[in-house]
Amino acid sequence: MPRRNPGRERPQRRKKAQHAEPGDAFRCVGCRLDVPMSAPGTAHRNHCPHCLTSLHLDHRVPGDRRAGCRGRMAALSVTVRPDGEWLIIHCCQSCGGLSANRIAGDDNALALLRIAMRPLSDSRLPVSALLSL
């Protein structure tokens, strides 16, 4: 799907060192898809573009690879930076840790939209607050 490109205001942080893991691809723990490390639009791919599942490898700093957990991280929600970039918030299924990562250009648009629509499809009270405006 074509992406809107509003022009990047915020340059990405450069990688300090190459990670220990060899190879240029990883296999998704959710859907077993072989995913190349290079992604359009981001230098820090950490989740599967098909099912958006990630793996709990980083501890506090993104890229530090110091988490001993290695649990599966499911996409929990979507948030937007002030400049309009979407971030996926992942939640570790085994320890409950949270992390945020920018979406890549080839991420599944339907899966992203499903997560973004989840609060709105809930027919609970806050929707009535919006309708009463």
Residue 49 near residue 35, CB atoms below 8 Å: yes
- Interface with another protein includes 78 (CB under 8 A)? yes
| Beta-carbon-side half-sphere exposure of residue 116 (alpha carbons within 13 Å) | 13
- Interface with another protein includes 44 (CB under 8 A)? no
| Residue tagged 């098909």 (tokens) | 50
Which of 29, 72, 85, 111 lies at the binding interface for another protein (CB under 8 A)?
85
- Interface with another protein includes 51 (CB under 8 A)? no
The amino acid at 91? C
Please give the Cα distance from 59 to 65 (Å, whole number). 6
Which of 77, 93, 106, 111 lies at the binding interface for another protein (CB under 8 A)?
77
Summarize as ranges the residues that interact with another protein (CB under 8 A): 1-4, 59-60, 76-80, 84-86, 89, 91, 97-100, 103, 109-110, 113, 116-120, 122, 124-127, 129-130
